Structure 1
Amino acid sequence: MTPLPRFRRLPAERQEAILTVARAHFAEHGPASASYNKIIEAAGFSKTAAYQYFDGREDLLGAVLDDVLDRLLGVLGSWTPARDEVDFWARLEAGSHALVAHLSTHPDDLALADAAVGRAQGGVWLGWFGAVVEDGQRLGLIRTDVAPALLAAATAAVMRAADAWALTALRTAPPEGSATQAVPGSEQVWSLLRGLWSGGTDGGGGRAH
């Protein structure tokens, strides 16, 4: 489900205002429990007017989740081929750190991230990790005896779990210093990925550099 064409013809600021209100409600009450009537009331239009923009509650939820996914992918940016092994790991770490930093300051996106990724059913989300896997294979860093799509899905799952774990660590022991400080436990994440990508032969050594 996607918004009706009339929604996309609204000014960008109005679209964002509606999605912001809806995102907050779905994040607070859950995708399955948030009230459609309360959302459209808070957004400032009647139920009759709402049906000019959305077919119903699920349509609005879909628009919100698609927007959350776009925001997460915007934080990651597109993956471009790395120059070498060191550059590959540096870019991966930077992407992970940026995503954790975004989720730590955007609790609505954090609350809806799993639902947004699940709605995508792979798609552009797994496409990002697929590009990582393809680049790692080009550099000889990632095994080639497993289907790339499976490696991309496994990599995405590891990174999502790692981000959730890092956010928990940041909440219980907020790091001091600049925003570029390393994500807690990141060395363990890279070691886990190296084990996955090398077939379990990493030996816990962490990143190549």
Structure 2
Amino acid sequence: MPLPRFLRLPPDRQAAILAVARAQFAEQGPDAASYNKIIEAAGISKTAAYHYFDGKGDLLDTVLDDVRARLLGALGAWREVDTAEEFWAALRAGSARLVAHLEDHPHDLALATSALSRPEDPQAVDWVAAVVSNGQRVRVIRTDVAAELLVRATAAVLRELDGWALAGHPAGAAEWSLLAGLWGPR
């Protein structure tokens, strides 16, 4: 989590610093990226940098949180649908938006696996909960299992599917069938 001084910077300045750091972490790798080079490329002094972040690890955490937020933004809010066909179409459309974002933002792609493997984010959990709730309403998702367990299991499968896709394996019918199997009738 960045220090309060960073959060008081104008949003465009915050975004610029994070963009430089995201590029460095993506291109060099989180371990190899140099905090000093990131600071220099962002045009801030070392003193200022330590007023914004506790160090390289704190900056990396902030960048990964930002990448996850960017991915969720690309995915978009879940919009309620009324039929099973619309439900699956909405899931595939969200996946397509996410893939398009990653194709257009290679730094996000390079850091996506790290960003998605971080502890759950309430916004991501809310998105999955909305999917599960809507899926239950349109009878795509079973109702004989506690909703909270279905949300957690769905989130885990989605994380693994994301990792699979990010490793260069296209998501096809077999991959989507994992969700259908999890959600289907007993």
Task: Specify the TM-score bucket, using the shorter chain as the normaliser.
Answer: 0.7 to 0.9
**Structure 1, 58-67 or 118-127: larger mean CA deviation:** 118-127
Opposite residue 19 of structure 1, the aligned amino acid is L
Does the residue aligned with 2:118 lie in a helix, a strand or coil?
helix
The answer to whether the Cα contact below 8 Å between 2:116 and 2:159 also exists between their aligned partners in 1 is no
Give 1:25's aligned residue: 24
Alignment gaps of 5+ in structure 1: 170-183, 202-209
Deviation for aligned residue 1:70: 1.0
* Greater share of residues in helix: 2
Distance 2:81 2:32 in 1: 43
Opposite residue 36 of structure 2, the aligned amino acid is N
Deviation for aligned residue 1:185: 4.5
1:187 equivalent to 2:186? Answer no
**Structure 1, 48-57 or 155-164: larger mean CA deviation:** 155-164
Distance 2:117 2:171 in 1: 26
Q: Say if 1:185 and 1:51 are closer, same or farther in 2 by CA, change over 3 A.
A: closer
Opposite residue 133 of structure 1, the aligned amino acid is V
Q: Say if 1:145 and 1:121 are closer, same or farther in 2 by CA, change over 3 A.
A: same
Opposite residue 107 of structure 2, the aligned amino acid is D
Give 2:122's aligned residue: 123
The answer to whether the Cα contact below 8 Å between 1:117 and 1:125 also exists between their aligned partners in 2 is no
1:196 equivalent to 2:173? Answer no
1:66 equivalent to 2:65? Answer yes
Give 1:141's aligned residue: 140
Give 1:34's aligned residue: 33
Q: TM-score, normalised by structure 1?
A: 0.78
Percent identity reads 61
Give 1:204's aligned residue: none
Give 2:80's aligned residue: 81
Deviation for aligned residue 1:96: 0.7
Distance 2:123 2:30 in 1: 21
In the comparison of the two structures, how many residue pairs are matched?
Answer: 185
Does the residue aligned with 2:54 lie in a helix, a strand or coil?
coil
Q: Say if 1:191 and 1:114 are closer, same or farther in 2 by CA, change over 3 A.
A: same
Q: Say if 1:130 and 1:34 are closer, same or farther in 2 by CA, change over 3 A.
A: same
Deviation for aligned residue 1:113: 1.8
The answer to whether the Cα contact below 8 Å between 2:83 and 2:138 also exists between their aligned partners in 1 is yes
Alpha carbon RMSD of aligned pairs, Å? 2.1
